[in-house]
A and B are shown apart, each in its own frame.
Chain A
Amino acid sequence: MQGVGSVLVRARGLTKTFGEGHAQARVLDGAGLEVARGEFIAVVGKSGSGKSTLLHLLGGLDRPDSGEIELDGVRIDRLDERGLTAIRRHKIGFVFQAFHLLPELTGVENVLLPARLARDGVEAAPRAKELLERLGLARIARRLPTELSGGEQQRLAIARALINDPALVLADEPTGNLDEESGADVLNLLRRLTDSDRSVVLVTHDRAATSIADRVLRLEGGRLVA
């Protein structure tokens, strides 16, 4: 582990183009950012400006057309699928706007899923229990997602993102589908994550979110500006 404040993510010159011919659109055009350990960054921008795309690249869900992404000293833009899988397992925690809990699995099973994928399910069980308690979810751990409120589902999704103890949590409009009160709960939770030296990149439209961030970046014309 490096010291507090050292750089966790360094991205430079990212470009990403979708579509072909007339429909072609360059969504990212030389975007770059640095995220320090323990830093909370909010990314804002108009709808369709490429915020989600940026998050997908940082999380190893997609690849840039060009540019570099270094995560914890590893050039993830150069990794093969196997390497990316390992990054997703151990370094990244993703929180989606639509929660994306698996409807077949109970709350605790959803939370444990990434640990099981990392073949760490048994050891992770007490950690899951503790996480659920900390997030006030112990009561609903054995229920199916369809039986839960939006706020409860999103808190479960955050617990799932944390189970493998990732260095970077990426959250794509996690409050977009929630009412004001639940949204505030979720934001608090995310903010507290940085206490333990984790970094958070949050994509949001929410004013409340930008006010608690260390830095706010705006995505415009394919680039990130302060």
Chain B
Amino acid sequence: MIPVVRHGLARLRNDRARTALLIVGVTAAAAMVGAAVTVAYALATAFDRSAAAAAMPDVTAQFAQQPLAPVAARVRALVNVRAAAYRIEAKGVDLTAGPRFATAVVDGVRNDGPRGYALTSGRDIRHRDEVVIEEGLARSWHVHLADRLTLGGDPLGVVGLATTPGTVAYPLSRSPRLYVSYDTARRLTGGAAGVNEVLLWLNDPSQVDVTLAQARAASFGLRDLQFVTRSGYRHLIGRAAGLVISLLVAFSAIVLLAAGVMLGASAAAEMQRRREAIGVLRAFGATPSSIAVGYAVESAAVAAPAACVGLVAGAAVVASPLRHLLGILNEITPPALTTFGLLAAAWAAIVLVVAAATWVPAWRAGRERIVDTLRGGDVVGAPKRVPLPALAGFGARLTLARPARAATLVTVLAASTAVVLLMLAIADVLHGLQRNAQTLGTRYQLTVAASDISLAEVREVPGVAAATLRYESDAADSFDLGESFKLVGFAGDVTSYESPPVDSGRRARGIGEAEVGAGLADALDLHAGGTLAAQLPSGREVRFRVVGIVDALRDEGLVAYVRAERLRAAMPAASTEIAIKLAQGASLNDVRNALLGRGVHADKTGGISEDSGLDTSGRASFLRVLAALLRSVAVLDGLVCVYALAQILALIARERRRAVAVIRALGASRAQVFAVFAGAAVLLAALALPIGVGVERAVLGPAVARLAVSYVTLSLKAGSSAILVVAGALAVAAAVAAGWATRTATADAIVAPLRED
């Protein structure tokens, strides 16, 4: 055994090129696995971990402000409630710190139950003049503990930083979230005693539906009641994270498959060259298993440090973007120790895979008859007829001489192609969301409260192209009160303000017509031509004829867009805003400032005008970053393809060095040697491309689209331009790989391989 291992280590030293290739391959694969493990684990567990750390409530109920006592009495009547916390929440509170300004959401906390937010540093509020701020605010404004800021005119000292799972961090959310004492918040809301928010923790969270139904039934008299559940949010986050996780898992599976195939193939090729040496070892008494172990130890010795470096590098590369992403989602990064444990397990797995990939062919070679191995030998057993032009056809035959290997490589290339196409399709959709207001649907950029300013005044502000009244109300389906949704009405033409893509039917035009979000259409089984019967909080019912189903992104598609007339008649107190469209080229901030000058605060909608407001929209920049990220992953994946192709051609060049030397001796030029390798590469790429395209369009795209957003129909099928790009990239990859193989194959003198007899 010892001499066999020694022989292995001597091989490593002597064959530097092979050792280097092994190191590069293992390191690259390990880096990808390290990145995938870190991100997938963090995303898969972050929400639960953060929710647990913050003691996130199972149900949060919001309603118009009420005195505490009657609300508490109703809550006490609910079964299954373990704990409750009552709060007063103030929205749109002016917040300043130095020169910075924002309108904040402020929660007044009574010390009556769990907090529902996780302190990440500092301590909780004890006095009236203290505030706990969300981490996102601290990050983007560079606010530290003990700094002071002004909230609604009151100076407060920062005593703690917190994250609240279930919300998105500032500045991606428009308003930062702050926690103050109940008394402070009460002062901010105008002084009236009472609460407008209840946090509930349940004994049995799985029974949340029952509790919700009971709560709705008992909620008589509570206006504007809204429930948010922990399980609902978990579901939402899980879907988004699931998308990223499955992409990563798919991608690293491809990389691992590629690495495994390459390692196995290169080991098999090595065995082919080493058959004679193996025969000699056995002729002098080595057993097949000791030979196999010798080879396995040899490659494991190389893989162990390479895998370690790769894993650490991969984890390090994603660490910062991951922290950023989790920060945006108000989630906590996982403990370093667990991540480390996972990476260690991945390390063991990779080393094992590498050792096995060499062990198998060595064991097989070791079991051949000694006399056969002593004869060594070139590869034989090619298929008889491949009707292709001479040299490229010869290359194709060289590839097909190893059908199993060719098939695996085609699989790898096809899978990569499919993933790249998917990435490009997603990036396209994101790009569209970012660019095209049509896709988002919202075509106005600002809103102001209608009570603050008249429509005519707004229309006079420079930079305002158009403005109209906008009504929004909660509503419940009259037939099935369980399903609640948003009813949004515009005075006049709806679609010039809100025009999500029409999925079926047509745009609403008449007074009694409604465009219904796909989510609501699903929930209520509505079709174009059906009737939407909406129960308003006032108790009145309004009916609309459904004329179109639209892909609305907001509120999971639980929304209906209508003309305002009936809404206004049925509900005079519906919250009224003025929706403002900016003129071409007008600056969003100039218009906001002009309105501020008239004493009116305007909210951004995130709606994007055709050529302005792009860079002022947080969502747009987020989408841009995401699209860029996906495109770079696609490029990375493309590089994996080049590597895989180059590897297999290098293998062919190695295995068949004598054949290459022979054709050179017969007068083949460099270009002709290139043609041989290009023939091999093009064959593989040409087989892989249609398979990859088919898989993406028929399986991967639709599956991911469903996983991502079930409430809108997104097309993630790669378009023809993406397919052209990928085909071009594959051709380039084939050429690069063939060029590289030609270089290595023609670098040596012709005679060396010919002498190997």
Chain A interface residues (CB < 8 Å from chain B):
52, 56, 59, 61-62, 81-82, 85-86, 88-90, 94, 96-98, 100, 102-106, 113-114, 116-118, 121, 144, 146, 160, 164
Contact = CB atoms under 8 A, between A and B. Distances in A.
A94 B669 CA distance: 16
27 contacts: A56-B750, A56-B751, A59-B665, A61-B665, A61-B749, A85-B668, A86-B667, A88-B664, A98-B757, A100-B662, A100-B665, A100-B754, A103-B378, A103-B382, A104-B397, A104-B401, A104-B659, A105-B394, A113-B666, A114-B666, A114-B667, A117-B666, A117-B669, A117-B672, A118-B667, A160-B666, A164-B667
Contacts of A86: 667
Contacts of A61: 665, 749-751, 754
Contact of A121 (B390, B663, B668): B390
Given A56-B751, A103-B379, A117-B672, A88 B667 contact: yes
B724 interface: no
A117 B671 CA distance: 10
B658 interface: yes
Contacts of B666: 88-89, 94, 113-114, 117, 160
A103 B382 CA distance: 7
B391 interface: yes
Given A102-B659, A116-B390, A88 B665 contact: yes
Which 8 pairs show the lowest CB-CB distances between chains A and B? A89-B667, A104-B382, A88-B667, A104-B397, A114-B666, A116-B390, A100-B662, A61-B750
B378 A81 contact: no
Nearest to A100: B662
A114 B669 CA distance: 11
B670 A81 contact: yes
A89 B750 CA distance: 14
Given A100-B754, A105-B397, A117-B391, 16 more contacts: A61-B750, A61-B751, A62-B750, A86-B667, A88-B666, A89-B667, A102-B394, A103-B381, A104-B401, A114-B666, A114-B667, A116-B391, A121-B390, A146-B380, A160-B666, A164-B667
A117 B749 contact: no
Interface of B: 378-382, 384, 390-391, 394, 397-398, 401, 658-659, 662-670, 672, 749-751, 754-755, 757
Contacts of B401: 104
Contacts of B668: 85, 117
A144 B384 contact: yes
A105 B396 CA distance: 12
Contacts of A96: 754
A104 B398 contact: yes
A85 B749 CA distance: 13
Contacts of B670: 81
Nearest to A62: B751
Contacts of B749: 61-62
B382 A144 contact: yes
B159 to A, nearest CB: 75
A191 B390 CA distance: 32
Nearest to A163: B666
Nearest to B749: A62
A77 B184 CA distance: 96
A58 to B, nearest CB: 12
Contacts of A117: 391, 663, 666-669, 672
Contacts of B662: 100, 102
Contacts of B380: 103, 146
A82 B751 CA distance: 17
A150 B79 CA distance: 93
Contacts of A164: 667
Nearest to B755: A52
Contacts of A90: 667
Given A146-B380, A160-B666, A104 B394 contact: yes
Nearest to B756: A98
Contacts of B669: 82, 85, 117
Contacts of A104: 382, 394, 397-398, 401, 659
Contacts of A160: 666
A114 B668 CA distance: 8
A71 B234 CA distance: 82
Contacts of A106: 384
A62 B748 CA distance: 10
Contacts of A116: 390-391
Nearest to B386: A104
Nearest to A92: B667
A144 B751 CA distance: 25
Contacts of B755: 52
Contacts of B672: 117
A105 B670 CA distance: 20
A217 B397 CA distance: 42
A44 B665 CA distance: 23
A144 B665 CA distance: 21
A100 B666 CA distance: 11
Nearest to A94: B665
A52 B667 CA distance: 19
Contacts of A52: 751, 755
A102 B379 contact: no
Nearest to B658: A100
A73 B394 CA distance: 35
A105 B395 CA distance: 11
Contacts of A94: 665-666
A150 to B, nearest CB: 14
B671 to A, nearest CB: 10
A89 B664 CA distance: 9
A96 B663 CA distance: 13
Contacts of B384: 106, 144
A61 B752 CA distance: 10
A114 B666 CA distance: 6
A55 B397 CA distance: 31
B398 to A, nearest CB: 6
A78 to B, nearest CB: 18
A96 B664 CA distance: 14
A179 to B, nearest CB: 18
B511 to A, nearest CB: 78
A103 B655 CA distance: 13
A113 B663 contact: yes
Contacts of A102: 394, 659, 662-663
B408 to A, nearest CB: 20
A106 B386 CA distance: 11
Nearest to A87: B667
Contacts of B390: 113, 116, 121
Nearest to B385: A106
Contacts of A88: 664-667
Contacts of A97: 757
Contacts of B658: 100
A102 B750 CA distance: 16
A171 to B, nearest CB: 13
A28 to B, nearest CB: 13
A90 B750 CA distance: 18
Contacts of A114: 666-667
A146 B751 CA distance: 23
Nearest to A116: B390
A70 to B, nearest CB: 20
Contacts of A62: 749-751
A199 B749 CA distance: 26
Contacts of B378: 103
Nearest to A161: B666
A168 to B, nearest CB: 13
A1 to B, nearest CB: 21
Instruction: Give the interface centre of B401, B665, B666, B750 by most chain A CB atoms within 10 Å.
Output: B666
A85 B671 CA distance: 11
Contacts of A103: 378-382, 659
B403 to A, nearest CB: 13
A160 B667 CA distance: 12
Contacts of B379: 103
A82 B380 CA distance: 31
A164 B284 CA distance: 48
